[in-house]
């Protein structure tokens, strides 16, 4: 089983800006914790971050050749991108959407996600721990458990 992790625009700032909203862990810390969990669950993992929507769409198409599912924090694309949703639906692999913050309790525009209706599951509000919860949920879904 193989999972591709996508971090959307600006998530490379994790741990460096707005720690009161997104916490103190860096993106490298998150990827390290995900890799440790993947090893424990015997799941292969690759991680990807881009600030460019087109690069993310190309990554989805490329990774779908080997990945069974996606773990995605779409960042701001959550609230704007029909194209990201179409790309994920188009490759026919289940994905779990993760948000570090509680998007339902912030500005009203963050309450809507183009991806949530087509996600296998959504985790939000648990800080970076949400990545690990989402990864477990996706692995369980992919194993048919």
Judged by the rule CB under 6 A, the positions of this chain that interact with ligand CA2 are 10-11, 13-14, 17-18, 22, 73, 75-76, 78, 99-101, 103, 110
Which is nearer to ligand CA2, 22 or 68 (by Cβ)? Answer: 22
In whole angstroms, how close is the CB of 65 to ligand CA2 at the nearest point?
Answer: 26
Distance CA 34, CA 79 (A): 25
Distance of CA 86 to the CA centre of its chain: 16
In whole angstroms, how close is the CB of 67 to ligand CA2 at the nearest point?
Answer: 21
Which is nearer to ligand CA2, 69 or 103 (by Cβ)? Answer: 103
List 22, 52, 79, 131, catalytic entry: 22
* Cα–Cα distances in angstroms (integers) from residue 21 to residues 71, 87, 108, 143, in the given order: 21, 29, 16, 33
Beta-bridged to residue 46, according to DSSP, are: 4
Distance CA 94, CA 79 (A): 20
Which is nearer to ligand CA2, 68 or 115 (by Cβ)? Answer: 115
In whole angstroms, how close is the CB of 112 to ligand CA2 at the nearest point?
Answer: 10
The two structure tokens encoding residue 51: 């600030």
Which is nearer to ligand CA2, 22 or 59 (by Cβ)? Answer: 22
Local structure of 42: helix, strand or coil: coil
Cβ pair 119, 138 in contact under 8 A: no
List 99, 112, 114, 131, catalytic entry: 99
Active site residue 99: yes
List, by residue number, the catalytic residues: 22, 99
């Amino acid at each position: 089983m193989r999972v591709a992790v996508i971090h959307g625009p600006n998530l490379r700032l994790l741990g460096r800006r707005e720690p009161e909203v997104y916490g103190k862990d860096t993106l490298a810390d998150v990827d390290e914790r995900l890799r440790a969990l993947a090893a424990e669950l015997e799941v292969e993992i690759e991680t990807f971050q881009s600030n460019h929507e087109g690069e993310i769409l190309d990554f989805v198409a490329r990774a779908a050749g080997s990945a069974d599912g996606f773990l995605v924090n779409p960042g701001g694309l959550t609230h704007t991108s029909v194209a990201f949703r179409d790309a994920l639906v188009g490759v026919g692999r289940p994905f779990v959407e993760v948000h570090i913050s509680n998007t339902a309790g912030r500005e009203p525009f963050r309450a809507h996600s183009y991806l949530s209706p087509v996600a296998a599951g959504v985790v939000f509000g648990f800080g970076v721990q949400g990545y690990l919860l989402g990864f477990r949920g996706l692995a369980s879904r992919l194993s048919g458990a």
